[in-house]
């Protein structure tokens, strides 16, 4: 079986990163975490299947905000403040606080891998 593709979690808050990583790893997904968004060329080289980005990681960095769709085929932005978002292909939002399986389901759909592929033997 092929190894699962990696989901990059970007959040300045360490506890939030750990919590999201735990939930996704429990579903059998491979994750990488970091407090800030890497440069675009680093994203392309790493081949992340999906980015999960806390909006707090984008504060004061308009250049990276503008290039989010280029960083990964799919980006899930975690938001808790009102923000005017232009519709972009491959960019979806989920409201914080994260409740239930909403994020896990969105990530699994984003990487186009059914849960059974990673979780069941």
Note the pLDDT tens digit of each residue in 54-107. Answer: 988 877 655 566 666 555 678 888 988 756 566 566 778 888 888 778 899 989
Scanning the chain, the segments in alpha helix (DSSP H) are: 14-26, 40-46, 62-66, 68-71, 102-110, 115-119
Query: Does residue 74 sit within a domain?
Result: yes
Q: How many domains does the chain have?
A: 1
- For residue 1, pLDDT beyond 60: no
Q: How high does pLDDT run on average in the chain?
A: 75
| Percentage of the chain modeled with pLDDT above 90 | 24
Q: pLDDT grade, residue 16 (50/70/90)?
A: very high
Question: Within a domain: residue 109?
Answer: yes
* Residue 45 located in a structural domain: yes
CA distances for 70 relative to 40, 63, 65, 74, angstroms: 7, 12, 10, 9
Asked if 74 and 49 count as a contact pair (C-beta separation under 8 A), the reply is: yes
CATH number, domain containing residue 79? 3.40.50.2300
* Residue 1 domain flag: no
Any domain includes 15: yes
In a domain, 38, yes or no: yes
* CB 93 within 8 Å of CB 79: yes
Does any domain span residue 37? yes
Residue 114's pLDDT band, with cuts at 50, 70 and 90, is very low
pTM of this prediction? Answer: 0.75
Domain extent at residue 108: 6-119
């Amino acid at each position: 079986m092929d190894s699962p593709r990696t989901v990059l979690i970007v959040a300045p808050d360490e506890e939030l990163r750990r919590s999201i990583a735990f939930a996704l790893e429990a579903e059998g997904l491979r994750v990488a975490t970091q407090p800030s968004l890497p440069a675009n060329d680093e994203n392309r080289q790493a081949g992340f299947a999906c980015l999960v980005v806390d909006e707090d990681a984008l504060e004061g960095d308009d250049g990276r905000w503008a290039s989010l769709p280029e960083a990964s085929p799919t980006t899930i932005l975690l938001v808790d403040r009102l923000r005017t978002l232009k519709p972009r292909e491959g960019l979806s939002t989920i409201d914080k606080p994260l409740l239930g399986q909403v994020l896990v389901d969105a990530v699994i759909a984003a990487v186009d891998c059914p849960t059974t592929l990673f979780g069941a033997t």
